[in-house]
Chains A and B, each alone.
Chain A
Amino acid sequence: MKDLKHIHYFTALLEDANNELVRAAKKDGGIAVGYTCYYIPEALLNVGNAFSVRLRAPKTGSLDISQYYMGSMNCSYVRALLERAFEGGYHFLDAFFSSETCQQMNRLVENIYELKLIDNGTFYHSIIDAPLKISPHGIKHYTNQIRTHFLEPLRDQFGIDISETALRNAVAEHNRMCAIFEEISELRKADNPGITATEFHILNLVSYSCPTGLILPYLEETLVELKKRKLDPKIPYRARVVVVGSEMDDYGFTELIEYCGAYVVADRYCFGSMPGRQQIPINDDEDIVEVVCRFYLETNQCPRFMSQEKVQERRDVVKALYDEYNADGIIYEQMKFCDYWGYERAVASFVLHEEMGIPTVALDREYTVQASGQLRTRVQAFVESLEIKKIQKAKNQNEGEKK
């Protein structure tokens, strides 16, 4: 297929957290809010002239300094962010909103703050207490935390309009972006999809890393282009996979999977589009903050939700994606030293494989994956096994028909 018009621009935007669009928004007086987790309702952060940037550390190299501060047994995502903060990569941030989702992320924010790594006099940070189950009082608590730790400080410290109208506008804009992704995502269901998995990953990443208002026109244009795109006649993959797991903001991983002959039909990982790029249903009666918070809590697929029904729901969601997107297998990926995903990948891959009979592989990886030969070998082996299974299945079917 022909390259998408903006794809090179998008990849350039992913070269730096403080990218061209972030700089443009800042120049316009925008307030940059950094965050890292689905618990932080992105839709509400793009209110008024505030804009959200889901933090990445592109081109990560040595992690020596962060290792000294955080030890070597913490996940390389948080270490990479700390290293980048030491290098001065996040001075553009006005605020960092976080949640005590995992210990490591929590400590990252504390380190950044205590070590004064953001050279910005008005820098504000806050860490909310986020429940790990859904209940009426839990939703109330979470909503309250979002309001008092994020929204009100945006108003009080940065003069941002957080009125109901302003917040509804922000959610509407967020929904416009999600609508685009919902349409693009549909393309992935086709046997011969009009978008490569890597392209999808790149589009998704820029939507998180750039101010929504500024990236939106590019995404709209890309959608139009995708609809008209001329497909290659040959199906470009040997197997279709759902990827599930921990934080993943390196599209090199998807490239690696494609290189091994598989097509990623659904991305159920932190920083992925499922959840994250679905429209939030709103109504005129309820308080918008409450509606949005409830939505984020209910759609959250973080393994830290520990009630039995949520644990089951996580498996059901993955199974539903597998069915709906007509996948052949599931890849569970886990950032090394991530406790949540370490357990989740073991238990869920066991259940999906042993009890539901779905071909599943569990992998661990570092923050940057492109250069990992070991990972490539494992993905390759998995893709081959899926291919063999498909051939075997077709053969059995043929024989059955003949009989």
Chain B
Amino acid sequence: MTVTSNNLKDNAKLFGDIFTEAIKLELANYDHKTILMDLKKKFEPGKLTPLLTGQVSIKAAVNQYLTGNGLQDTIEDKTGIYKHREWRGPVDTLYDYVKWLELWGILGKWLLKHPVTNVSALLRYRWMAAYLTTPSFFDHNVPGFRGTMLRAGRMNLNTIAKLLTANMEDIFSADLNINPENENAKKYICIDAYMPKLITAGFSEHQGILAHLVPHYLPSIINHHLPEHYLDVTESYGVPADVCGLPSMESGVAIEDDFPKIGCCYISTNMPCDGSIMSSSILDRRFQLPTYVLNTPMRHTREDTQEYAIEELKECIKFMEKHTGETYDYNLLREACERWNEQNALRLEKWEMNATDTPPHYGASNWMYRIFTYQDACGSQVAIKNDRKVNKVMRKSLGKLRKYPQQTRHRAVVWNTVANMYSALDEWLLNCWGIEAVFEFIEHQGHRPIDTATVDSMLAGVAKVIQEATMRVHSKGGYNAYTDDLWLLVEQYDCDMIVMFDQISCKGPAAITGLLEEEARRRGIKMVWLKQDLVDARTISRRDMRDQINKYMEAVMNETPLDPTLRDFDDGESW
């Protein structure tokens, strides 16, 4: 027997039915007692229980608890919808469930605060639909998790939800597409999402908004089919299909006029790569805002480029001052940089903890959090508070027997850019094959503290944070910037394996395939290449990706899956 509780579709229907019925009864002027009694009569209590308990059949629960296996059995084929909540033992199930309810609380609070605006946004923007699936998406990113990993994962995810909903609130409250008379629009400085928002920290009356984060970057991760529409739009505009899907998708969002209309000016950038440089010419045409192109050096690892980087930053600040009419306050920037430094130190501590025998820091809930907090919530109090809590939980777990994962076979570095269309790949690697991704490339970005002693040293530090932002290392700065640390990390983290993404349309890493291959061979490191197309699941599906790993593990490593239900399944119709 399976009982639905986390099945979004069924849940929504059930909630809806109860809600409608309750309203009907209330409209008929019944008192609360009568309403409850009537509801009890109408809705079978057995059906309502799982909403509260997240319970599954006892037999299935015991089996899953004892073996930790059968994870895919909890999920519907094709759609990927959970048939029931995952049983993780009493304590962890309860924890998971409370966090899940907390998430609904965060979403509900956001939704009800400005219901009209939010519904307008939902109707105006195609990508908004992706966010409706957030609770289920989060569940998919902690499958099998228990103990510390579950706690850290859930805390990070819910913090993302908090920050994201605050972000959306800002965006929609200022969006001229939703409210053409909006006076708030000018309070924001639009920034290219591949540039950390830290640069706007010196303003008190104006706030930076990462233009792409909410409309395209996050939706491409949450719903892996959403990019397809926008990719097609860009292609029909004449851009070739072989360019990277990420800038191509953002171009599609621009061509469809699906970017919120907001801001007093726009800070565009050449980050991270050639494709994204070019997509900005499409974006500029749509934004129609005064624009400053912040030119970050390509050879960002070289000292002789830093003077230029700092000069560019200074010019950018002047430009923002001109368009906001506000003077940049370096004391505010200093405070933000100091918070950023704390975030960074906590991050580095996590790295250290992952180098131990019991790495507690894992997977999508972490790398997504890292991207979000590096680019958007850099210097955010909410994020720091969460980091402190997460690190505390992790610290406690060090050296102790882990509840999860109970069994691992390999420690791996996962290198090159993650596939947005398959966020939970690390989780699958661990649950299916026991490959523990102890170091995830996308987290490996700028991690130098900012020297806040003087304005100049601070600007130099901020310039570095910008230059080393997400996806910069593998695309620019010379191939050593991308590869040197890889070999070091393999040693530091005691790894016996590299899972190497081959993002087929990302030209920079692809063009050193041979050098990487030869170096891995020379060092005797097992490296599995994993082809992916970033945001386009039509070229290489999640199932195709799993198949590549399966073949490698079976043919080269001669191993069998830890959880056979995960070896091959169809999730082609899922979000």
Chain A residues engaging chain B, CB cutoff 8 angstroms:
68-71, 73-74, 78, 100, 102-104, 106-108, 110-111, 114-115, 127-133, 135, 137-138, 140-141, 144-145, 148, 303-304, 306-308, 311, 334, 336-337, 339-340, 342-347, 349-350, 362, 364
Contacts and interface: CB of A to CB of B under 8 A. Distances in A.
10 contacts: A68-B514, A100-B298, A103-B274, A130-B298, A137-B308, A137-B315, A308-B284, A339-B273, A343-B243, A347-B285
B536 to A, nearest CB: 13
A247 B269 CA distance: 25
Contacts of A73: 242, 504-505, 507, 510
A135 B315 contact: yes
Given A304-B274, A336-B240, A343-B281, A141 B305 contact: yes
A180 B239 CA distance: 38
B346 interface: no
B207 to A, nearest CB: 24
A104 B512 CA distance: 10
A271 to B, nearest CB: 19
A364 B295 contact: no
Nearest to B307: A141
Interface stretch (B35-43, B362-370, B452-460, B475-483): B475-483
A71 B476 contact: no
B354 interface: no
A332 to B, nearest CB: 9
A53 B332 CA distance: 52
A304 to B, nearest CB: 6
B477 to A, nearest CB: 8
Contacts of B308: 129, 131, 137-138, 140-141
Contact of B511 (A107, A350, A362, A364): A107
Contact of B282 (A68, A130, A132, A343): A343
A129 B268 contact: no
Nearest to B510: A71
A24 B281 CA distance: 46
Contacts of A337: 242, 507
Contacts of B446: none
A306 B281 contact: yes
Given A337-B242, A345-B238, A349-B238, A132 B277 contact: yes
A294 to B, nearest CB: 15
B299 A100 contact: yes
A394 B510 CA distance: 52
B159 interface: no
A141 B510 CA distance: 29
A106 B474 CA distance: 12
A339 B507 contact: yes
A75 to B, nearest CB: 8
Given A132-B270, A137-B312, A343-B243, A71 B297 contact: no
Interface majority SS on A: helix, strand, loop or mixed? helix
B237 interface: yes
Contacts of B479: 107, 110, 114
Interface string B154-176: 00000000000000000000000
Contact of B274 (A102, A111, A127, A311): A102
B284 A131 contact: no
Contacts of A115: 514-515
Nearest to B298: A100
Contacts of A68: 513-514
Given A68-B513, A73-B505, A111-B511, A346 B299 contact: no
* Shortest beta-carbon contacts, A-B, top 5: A69-B514, A107-B511, A343-B278, A346-B238, A71-B510
Contacts of A307: 291, 293
Contacts of B279: 343
B238 A110 contact: no
Interface of B: 237-240, 242-244, 251, 268, 270, 273-275, 277-282, 284-285, 291, 293, 295, 297-299, 302, 304-305, 307-308, 311-312, 315, 475-476, 478-479, 502, 504-505, 507-508, 510-515
Nearest to B308: A141
Contacts of A340: 274, 277-278
A372 to B, nearest CB: 16
Nearest to B297: A129
A306 B268 contact: yes
A144 B512 contact: no
A149 to B, nearest CB: 9
A345 B297 CA distance: 25
B239 A346 contact: yes
B238 to A, nearest CB: 3
A342 B268 contact: no
Contact of A133 (B273, B293, B304, B514): B293
Nearest to A342: B240
A35 B102 CA distance: 59
A304 B304 CA distance: 21
Contacts of B311: 137, 141
A318 to B, nearest CB: 14
Contact of B510 (A74, A144, A339, A345): A74
A70 B511 contact: yes
A350 B240 contact: no
Contacts of A132: 270, 277, 293, 295
Given A141-B307, A303-B278, 10 more contacts: A129-B299, A132-B277, A132-B293, A132-B295, A137-B315, A138-B295, A141-B311, A311-B284, A339-B274, A343-B239
B69 to A, nearest CB: 38
Given A306-B270, A350-B238, A131 B295 contact: yes
A73 B511 CA distance: 9
Contacts of B305: 129, 141
Given A100-B299, A145-B304, A343-B243, A114 B515 contact: yes
Most chain A CB atoms below 10 A, which of B242, B251, B514:
B514
A127 B297 CA distance: 12
Contact of A334 (B240, B307, B478): B240
B238 A362 contact: yes
A333 B513 CA distance: 28
A173 B523 CA distance: 51
Contacts of A140: 308
Contacts of A350: 237-238
Contact of A110 (B242, B284, B295, B512): B512
Nearest to B305: A129
Given A111-B514, A129-B299, A347-B282, A336 B242 contact: yes
Contact of B275 (A78, A145, A148, A339): A339
A145 B303 CA distance: 12
A131 B269 CA distance: 12
B476 A100 contact: yes
A362 B307 CA distance: 40
A340 B244 CA distance: 12
A86 B511 CA distance: 15
A336 B241 CA distance: 10
A111 B515 contact: yes
A108 B243 contact: no
Nearest to A337: B242
Contacts of B242: 73, 336-337, 342
A296 B460 CA distance: 29
A95 B59 CA distance: 72
Given A70-B514, A303-B278, A104 B507 contact: yes
Contact of A364 (B240, B268, B275, B312): B240
A69 to B, nearest CB: 3
B298 A129 contact: yes
Contacts of B281: 303, 306, 311, 343-344, 347
A69 B513 contact: yes
Contacts of B239: 342-343, 346
Contacts of B478: 100, 106, 110, 127
Nearest to B292: A307
Nearest to B235: A346
A270 to B, nearest CB: 14
A133 B295 contact: yes
A309 to B, nearest CB: 10
